[in-house]
Structure 1
């Protein structure tokens, strides 16, 4: 049996970068970045998919600038809603399967429990609304699909909270991080490996939305402290430069002290029970995943 043909978007994003080598162990991957394929160009998307004739489309590409989306709604919707619709329509025409990624931002964060896949959505801003529109478009296109909602994505590669916290703790004399927003920090590596497992075991006609995050939860402040604690453990061994702000000195602040153009959900917890029920999968605890990322040889050069 020949390896499946896979079309992967967004390879310079955190999830796309993690997916490319992992998917390549199973299939023949054609991976494109925004320079090779403009996801705001419908004709270009259709032409590319029809030329490649993939058996699987994996779409981690997204407009993720949450605050900037408030002033660029057309571009956010083009990439987060229209591009997934077009990809899903082409997948349906080819009889291909599609994996698409979404976000905790489809919820308003006002619930006092982790969100299930069936809970009512109510995005607070353009980013979340555009991602929700993308979910609905994929569902309506008729292709066999998996929509994987995740949260607080970070990894050894790319711009993300982990790298930002380390940089700030090296550069500044004090650091205050929001403590009244909670969620599950989720490793891009764990997203990628779980995606491959899903693809390998996706034998029956099963489509749907699943919540895919590392287990457990914390606040942004708790995540920042854990990052710096791991840094302090590894600092001597790796020869990393000393921190100016220690893990014990990170201040907890309220969301109101750090205003942003776009509102964030207070509660970003996603319930992963359905993924375990249907697929037998539950991702590791976020602390375990964080240490794995921190121990990545390429981290911080």
Structure 2
């Protein structure tokens, strides 16, 4: 089977590339924004047709949450129009595995969000990702959407790497404690994406939630990073209002993962265990 991975130089795309060797029964085509701009409908169609692509894993996304507030058109082009282009090119030819976000929710829930929960994004990033979801849900292309949260990896730029760097540069840091969710190690998510390739999409649900197990805050996440890495940096909790950003973020975005665990028959790693694995890999590199 021929698989196209978009956004291949990002965190998830890089993890999929590395782990794809364990799923060598397929042929993989890895494209990043430089080699394949998914906002270019003709180029998308050309790549899919010339390589006889049967499954697209769409890891391409505009993920600069704060910049999206002032660059709404750019965010919409990638997160919404780009998805539409993939669907048009795949119609009658193949399947789509699409990565979405917990930011489609408003953060006002007090229990983990299920897939069918009412969506109400509170920022441009979440709104453009939701529009991409709607294109998929209204399409005839066999597709699954995997919403995830707080992604980090040994590849690219992310919260874990930022904390490790700042922890070595400073004696103390202030980190928000009133935003609650669960981190996701991109390597764990990559394995789920790769495992889903051979599944019968006609028997699957349209939307799934995936993050690592457990619940934490950004403050506790930062504390764990310092503790596991042995970095001597004190972390102090602050409220969201004390660290204003251009984009609003959901205060609570914990995802209920019952559906994906049941239908994919998987066990999801605990977030601290995956964090330890990632930090070990970062330190080796």
TM-score, normalised to structure 2, is 0.95
Mapped partners of 1:288, 1:141: distance in 2: 38
Mapped partners of 1:167, 1:190: distance in 2: 23
Mapped partners of 2:278, 2:252: distance in 1: 24
Mapped partners of 1:111, 1:203: distance in 2: 30
Aligned to 1:240: none
Mapped partners of 2:258, 2:47: distance in 1: 36
TM-superposed CA distance for 1:138, in Å, is 1.4
Aligned to 1:184: 182
Tell me whether 1:167 sits opposite 2:165 in the alignment.
yes
Aligned to 1:278: 263
Aligned to 2:3: 6
**Structure 2, unaligned runs of 5 or more:** none
TM-superposed CA distance for 1:204, in Å, is 4.8
Matches within 5 A, 1:121-132: 121-132=119-130
Aligned to 1:239: none
TM-superposed CA distance for 1:196, in Å, is 1.7
Counterpart secondary structure, 1:88? helix
8 Å Cα contact 2:65/2:247 also seen in 1: yes
Counterpart secondary structure, 1:175? strand
8 Å Cα contact 1:106/1:132 also seen in 2: yes
Mapped partners of 2:85, 2:284: distance in 1: 37
8 Å Cα contact 2:149/2:181 also seen in 1: yes
Aligned to 1:258: 243
8 Å Cα contact 2:177/2:217 also seen in 1: yes
Distance 1:291 1:202, change over 3 A: farther
TM-superposed CA distance for 1:299, in Å, is 3.8
Aligned to 2:75: 76
TM-superposed CA distance for 1:50, in Å, is 1.9
TM-superposed CA distance for 1:300, in Å, is 6.6
Aligned to 1:193: 191
Distance 1:274 1:90, change over 3 A: same
TM-superposed CA distance for 1:38, in Å, is 1.6
Counterpart secondary structure, 1:100? strand
1:150 is matched with which residue: 144, 148, 151?
Answer: 148
TM-superposed CA distance for 1:64, in Å, is 0.1
TM-superposed CA distance for 1:281, in Å, is 2.1
Between the two proteins, the alignment pairs up a number of residues equal to: 283
2:272 is matched with which residue: 267, 282, 287?
Answer: 287
Mapped partners of 1:53, 1:185: distance in 2: 35
Deviation by residue 1:191-231 (Cα, 9 ceiling, x = unmatched): 00111222234475434100011111100000000011110
TM-superposed CA distance for 1:24, in Å, is 4.1
TM-superposed CA distance for 1:282, in Å, is 3.5
RMSD of aligned Cα (Å):
1.4
Tell me whether 1:219 sits opposite 2:238 in the alignment.
no
Deviation by residue 1:47-79 (Cα, 9 ceiling, x = unmatched): 222222211110011000000000111110110
8 Å Cα contact 1:151/1:186 also seen in 2: yes
TM-score, normalised to structure 1, is 0.90
8 Å Cα contact 1:109/1:265 also seen in 2: yes
Mapped partners of 2:245, 2:172: distance in 1: 20
